[in-house]
Structure 1
Amino acid sequence: MNTAQTLGDFLRSRRTRLDPASFGFSGRRRTPGLRREEVAQRANISSTWYTWLEQGRGGAPSAAVLERICAALMLTNTEREHLFMLGLGRPPEVRYQSTDGVDPRLQRVLDSLDASPSIIKTATWDVMAWNRAAAIVLTDYSTLPPGQRNILRFLFGDPAVRARQHDWESVARFVVGTFRADVARAGLASEVGDMVDDLCRTSPDFERMWRENQVFSHSEVEHVKRLLHPQLGAIDMEYSLFAVDGRPDLSMLVYTPLDGQIAMRIRSAVAGLSPLVR
């Protein structure tokens, strides 16, 4: 498959579907959609070069040019990603979307995991949704104000959360390094500046780890979380991180208990059949 020609074909198909009148362009046309020079004008690029792109001979465009073409052609997020894959062989940078919650479909997925504590978090590690198992085993996020439902804030600011960690120092250092990588990948370094400054003021441990400038990914560590739960005792859970379809700024974190008896007790507590007693 000729990638350059495929890129050109895709651009042409998106251009011809647009209504010129809705962009203030007039005049009789032999073919549907915008003219090439009109797309180039909207994207602030050379008309000749845009024509070459559609003809499969324009060379590799930069990410900035592709973004302007996406805006000019009114591409959806899915179309934008496809255009980047054709033009640069990689997806575009994540577009962060602020949100007050998740749609009911995602919440139903969480709720179906009745023995697995699960959350949905943003690139800035704000918890947007959780299931009953997470409230029982991890943190009851419903008791926290929305602005405080941030994993770093209660990991470094809540003594009870700190006490539950089997090795708080290692957990905290991993969270800080992964958070740093996530916000940089999402282009949100400036947006989290106030929170980072606040944590540095209130937590000497956070300030120390933040100044270490380490970055981590989930693939670099053992995927087992060990907790010292006040009712369940010492528990081990495997965790897996999943992308949320259509929302690259969100991810779903699922913890699976390794002990079948622990899983049964969590499931019973979620169903309201029994309390968590040792």
Structure 2
Amino acid sequence: MSTMTRTAGPDRRRTELAAFLRSRRARITPEDVGMPPGPRRRTPGLRREEVAQLAGVGVTWYTWLEQGRPINASPQVLDAVARTLRLDGAERAHLYRLAETAELPRPAPAAGLPEDLPAILAGLDPMPACVTNARSDVLAWNRGYAALFPFLVNAPEAERNTLWMTFTLPPCCNPFVNLAEEGPLFVAAFRHRYSRHLGEPGWRDFVRRLCEASPEFARLWARQDVAESGSRLKVFRHAAVGEVAARATAFDVSGAPGARMVVYRPVSPEDRERVERLIDDPDLAVHDHVH
């Protein structure tokens, strides 16, 4: 194995760490931390020396940390930086992983799915449900999910991915109604998982291709936001039945590390009835045009 191959992982982590720290520093103003605004600033947010002062660390050390240099960072010092930058739980865990300090255990790659999973998915109908891996590739689904997202389940395997669908389908076919609100959180939750797979070619290639295919994803990815997944209200549209509002909740799949079951619970009886109509009449679930 060449030296370049051996160091690709750490170098990639340091690059991500530098970009993440700069983005978190830029969002905090001096007023936010009780400091005078001072003279006109060339860039938004705190200066490096101000972060170092507030965190109680050396300016040179913090500068090297933000530049991605290979320096040691203790949990206590990282905690001080995290408090200064007002990182939430997901962002703090992300910082620790990138700094390779007290890193959380890496999940094993998704194994074969449990044999009972198809029956479980079918039993959830008419609630749409699917199983994805950490990269958001869709591995299995039920009839409700296929009826609500026909473009996704019929896509080539390389594009059978919820992020890919969300950010690349044209407006006429994109089922996401509240994408402006949910899109940033979707990308932030993906970055939270991505930090566990730095250096893996499949993940890097997927992000590269999606950035090329979607300027909006590229813009959100550059923000360096990080969040944990949670139950969210999502609103989808379908040409045949109109809008369907559902709460999406994810569950880890036992026996398949990295895999998650995502269940969409229709919010109202009307939303449930619209999904049932799509399941009962397969012709309705087919879109009226192709690209």
Classify the TM-score, shorter chain. 0.5 to 0.7
What SS does structure 2 have at the residue aligned with 1:218? coil
Q: Does 1:264 align with 2:277?
A: no
Question: 1:173 and 1:249 mapped to 2: Cα distance?
Answer: 22
Aligned residue pairs: how many? 183
Match of 1:83 in 2: none
What does 1:70-149 align with in structure 2 at a 5 Å threshold? 92-97=105-110, 102-149=113-160
Kindly indicate whether the alpha-carbon contact (under 8 Å) linking 2:166 and 2:176 is maintained by their aligned counterparts in 1: no
What does 1:1-278 align with in structure 2 at a 5 Å threshold? 92-97=105-110, 102-160=113-171, 163-184=174-195, 186-188=196-198, 190-191=200-201, 192-219=203-230, 223-272=232-281, 275=284
Kindly indicate whether the alpha-carbon contact (under 8 Å) linking 1:154 and 1:161 is maintained by their aligned counterparts in 2: no
Question: 1:153 and 1:141 mapped to 2: Cα distance?
Answer: 9
Deviations 1:12-33 (A, max 9, x none): xxxxxxxxxxxxxxxxxxxxxx
Match of 2:64 in 1: none
Cα RMSD over matched residues? 2.7
Kindly indicate whether the alpha-carbon contact (under 8 Å) linking 1:228 and 1:235 is maintained by their aligned counterparts in 2: yes
| Percentage of identical aligned residues | 25
Kindly indicate whether the alpha-carbon contact (under 8 Å) linking 2:108 and 2:258 is maintained by their aligned counterparts in 1: yes
Deviations 1:40-59 (A, max 9, x none): xxxxxxxxxxxxxxxxxxxx
Q: Rate the CA distance shift 1:189–1:232 in 2: closer, same or farther, 3 A.
A: farther
1:232 aligned partner, one-letter code? V
Offset, 1:95: 0.8
TM-score (norm 2): 0.56
Kindly indicate whether the alpha-carbon contact (under 8 Å) linking 1:241 and 1:252 is maintained by their aligned counterparts in 2: yes
Kindly indicate whether the alpha-carbon contact (under 8 Å) linking 2:245 and 2:271 is maintained by their aligned counterparts in 1: no
1:96 aligned partner, one-letter code? P
**What are the ranges of 5 or more consecutive residues in structure 1 without an aligned counterpart?**
1-89
Kindly indicate whether the alpha-carbon contact (under 8 Å) linking 2:188 and 2:225 is maintained by their aligned counterparts in 1: yes
Match of 2:61 in 1: none
Kindly indicate whether the alpha-carbon contact (under 8 Å) linking 1:116 and 1:256 is maintained by their aligned counterparts in 2: yes
Question: 2:217 and 2:210 mapped to 1: Cα distance?
Answer: 6
**Bigger radius of gyration among the two:** 1
**What are the ranges of 5 or more consecutive residues in structure 2 without an aligned counterpart?**
1-102, 286-291
Match of 1:47 in 2: none
Deviations 1:158-180 (A, max 9, x none): 11587432222222211111111
Match of 2:38 in 1: none
Q: Which has the higher contact order (CA 8 A, sep 6+)?
A: 2
Offset, 1:91: 7.9
Kindly indicate whether the alpha-carbon contact (under 8 Å) linking 2:233 and 2:248 is maintained by their aligned counterparts in 1: yes
Q: Rate the CA distance shift 1:108–1:144 in 2: closer, same or farther, 3 A.
A: same
Kindly indicate whether the alpha-carbon contact (under 8 Å) linking 1:236 and 1:258 is maintained by their aligned counterparts in 2: yes
Q: Rate the CA distance shift 1:103–1:161 in 2: closer, same or farther, 3 A.
A: farther
Deviations 1:172-208 (A, max 9, x none): 2111111111122x43553311111112222211111
